[in-house]
Structure 1
Amino acid sequence: MKILIVEDEPSLREIMAQTLRREQYVVEEAADYTSGLDKIAAYDYDCILLDIMLPDGSGLKLLEELKRRGLRAGVIIISARDSLDDKIGGLELGADDYLPKPFHLAELSARIRSVLRRHRHDGRQSLDAGNVRLWPDSRRVEVAGREVELLRKEYDILHYFMSRPNHTIDKAALAEGVWGDHIDQADNFDFVYAQMKNLRRKLEKAGADIEIRAVYGFGYKLVRP
């Protein structure tokens, strides 16, 4: 799951990022309206943490732009302003939740999980493709009812594809979605190929009736053979 933090206070932004990375989220950061807008234009996110107190009121402007573009990401407003009018205003602009500062990091994590559950696949608790079932909350994978042990990135790759059924995924988009936007600094995609090879082998060995098939010259697509 991929999260964007748009917060102009560096220390708070870093604390949130470190906490969420420990919880195995892919986390990216933006410090202002412009960098936040650039990221949402370039990448898909599952949840966006947005400080509406960005300079010149640009936090609310960014929220309006998010909703104007019809992006599927859940949005949690984080703000030092906690009046009822502020909360109602943010929610009416399309935010999914409003968390006033200061807040406990445990509560932030719980709010994120709640927003992700509400947005996830029409409220279903699991993702299903063929005889493969993936449980995002516990990061478990089952094939024909039997649990399959996957490494972190193997799981993240499978989740990425099962969240996008019938989509052909470019290898660069896959790398950005699973490893983060700094992946463009990599010399090649050998790390993607290695993780993909291991995942496909484990699915085949477990008897999965789905396959992540290579699409020559482009990337991969999840199919049922």
Structure 2
Amino acid sequence: MKILIIEDEEQMLQNMKQTLEKEDYLVETATDYDSAFSKIGVYDYDCILLDISLPGKNGLEILRELKSRGITDGVIIVSAKNSLEDKIEGLNLGADDYLPKPFHMAELNARIKAIFRRRKLKGSNQLKIGNLSIKIDSQAVSVADKELTLNRKEFDILFYLASNKDRLVNKSSLAEHVWGDHIDQADSFDFIYSQIKNLRKKLSTNNAEVELKSIYGIGYKLTAS
């Protein structure tokens, strides 16, 4: 799961980043309006953690811009401004949740997962396609109740493609979502080919009722077989 934290308080930013990375999230950061949109305009996120009190244009202005651009990434406002007016305005502008500071990191993690379940899994804790089952909380994958052993990147690739079932995902989008914005420094997508090859073999060997299709020169699509 890919998270963007927009927060200008360095200690809070690092606390959230380190905590969420321990939960195996891919975390990127921004500290103001300009740095936020340099990422939002290029990458997709499962959830954006947004502080209201930012230098220059505040978090509510970022929400307005997201709405005007038609960007539908999940948003949780995390703010020390625990006012009813800000909460109502933020939710009306399209935020999914509002968490006042200070808060426990465990609660933040739970709210992120709740948003992901609502948006991607229709409220469930797992994604099922044929005899394939993917549990997001435990990051467990099974085929016909037999658990598969996947490395972290194999799981992330599988879950991203499965949550976009029957949709063509181009190689750059997949790389950015699984490896983060540092993917820009990569010379090729050979590392994706390797992970896809291993993942496809594990699924086939265990008779998974899904197919990882390669669309030559473009990307990949997961379909029910």
TM-score, structure 2 normalization: 0.93
Provide the C-alpha distance between the structure 1 equivalents of 2:223 and 2:74, rounded to a whole number of angstroms: 28
Instruction: Work out whether residues 33 and 56 of structure 2, in 8 Å CA contact, stay in contact via their aligned partners in 1.
Output: no
What's the CA shift for 1:148? Answer: 1.4
- Residue 146 of structure 2 corresponds to residue 132 of structure 1: no
- For residues 47-80 of structure 1, the C-alpha deviation after alignment (integer angstroms, 9 at most, x for no partner) is 1000111123431111112223333322110111
Code of the aligned partner of 2:202: K
Question: Which stretch has the larger CA shift, 132-141 or 84-93?
Answer: 84-93
Which residue number in structure 1 is paired with residue 198 of structure 2? 198
CA deviation profile, 1:70-105 (whole Å, cap 9, x unmatched) = 333221101111122222222222211111122222
Query: How far apart, in 1, do the equivalents of 2:117 and 2:18 lie?
Result: 22
Greater Cα shift, 128-137 or 195-204:
128-137
Matching of residues 8-27 of structure 1 within 5 Å: 8-27=8-27
Distance 1:110 1:11 in 2: 21
Deviation at 1:209, TM superposition (A): 2.0
**Alignment partner, residue 105 of structure 1:** 105
Mapped to 1, the partners of 2:107 and 2:10 lie a distance apart of: 20
Greater Cα offset, 117-126 or 146-155: 117-126
Provide the C-alpha distance between the structure 1 equivalents of 2:186 and 2:77, rounded to a whole number of angstroms. 33
1:121 Cα deviation (Å)?
3.3
Q: Using the alignment, how far apart are the partners of 1:2 and 1:189 within structure 2? A: 19
Aligned partner of 1:61 in structure 2 is: 61
Q: Is contact 1:46–1:72 with CA below 8 Å preserved after alignment?
A: no
For the 8 Å contact 2:48–2:74, the answer to whether it is kept is yes
Extract unaligned runs of 5+ from structure 1.
Answer: none
Deviations 1:131-189 (A, max 9, x none): 21212122111212322121111100000101111222221211111010111112222
Of 39-48 and 118-127, the range deviating more from structure 2: 118-127
Mapped to 1, the partners of 2:180 and 2:214 lie a distance apart of 22
Q: Secondary structure of 2:217's partner?
A: coil
Are 1:52 and 2:52 an aligned pair?
A: yes
Flag the structure with higher helix content: 1
Q: How does 1:104-123 map to 2 (within 5 A)?
A: 104-123=104-123
Poorly superposed stretches of 4+, deviation over 6 Å: none
Which residue pairs with 1:30 in the alignment? 30
Give unmatched runs, 5+ long, in structure 2: none
- Paired residue type of 1:12: M
Cα-Cα RMSD? 1.6
Q: Distance in 1 between matches of 2:162 and 2:103?
A: 33
Percentage identity across paired residues of the two chains: 56
Aligned letter for 2:188?
N
- Secondary structure of 1:166's aligned partner: coil
* Cα distance in 2 for residues equivalent to 1:176 and 1:21: 16
Question: 3-state DSSP class of the match of 2:45?
Answer: coil
Paired residues in the alignment total 225
Q: Which residue type is aligned with residue 160 of structure 1?
A: Y
User: Which amino acid counterpart does residue 83 of structure 2 have in structure 1?
Assistant: S
